[in-house]
Amino acid sequence: MGTFVPSGKDIDRKWFVLDANGETLGRLATKAASVLSGKLNPQYVPYIDMGDHVIVINAEKVRLTGLKSQSKLYRRYTGFPGGLREESFTRLLSRKPEKILEEAIKGMLPKTKLGRAMGSKLKVYRGDKHPHAAQQPVEMKIA
């Protein structure tokens, strides 16, 4: 009897909803990253994308602990000389709260083609509405 090795046909992807209302950014991101990478799946193998889809709602209500909300900066580079752009957490939260959660979650995934495939199954929305009701997502609690 040989070892069972799952293939792409054997994967049954589920949809989960995480509510970011009042949750800490890092704890929410680690939970979402483990679901996206498939580590909660009993058939997990590290070289196949076994992850499920994750929908995060209420992105604007995520919080940071301590004084991080006043001191945290998000940096990006435009590609031009002198093109380093910085934006504070509070400004980015008011302007584009989805970006904060996407960066935190995708930063915890592998930096490979496999990690990008895992990250494509992440959907982040501000507010408590999302357009994925047809997929019948299951509410997931953060312990």
The count of structural domains within the chain is 1
Residue 40 belongs to some domain of the structure: yes
pLDDT at 20: 96
Domain extent for 110: 13-64+96-139
Give the CATH number of the domain where residue 57 resides. 3.90.1180.10
Residue 91 belongs to some domain of the structure: no
**CA distance linking residue 18 with residue 14, whole number of Å:** 13
Q: Which residues pair with 75 in a beta bridge?
A: 86
Closest CA to 16 of 51, 63, 44, 50: 51
pLDDT at 138: 96
pLDDT at 43: 87
Cα separations (Å) of 114 from 31, 67, 73, 110? 18, 35, 28, 7
pLDDT at 7: 82
Q: Considering the entire predicted model, what is its pTM?
A: 0.92
Q: Pick out the chain residues at pLDDT < 70.
A: none
**CA distance linking residue 74 with residue 45, whole number of Å:** 33
Residue 105 belongs to some domain of the structure: yes
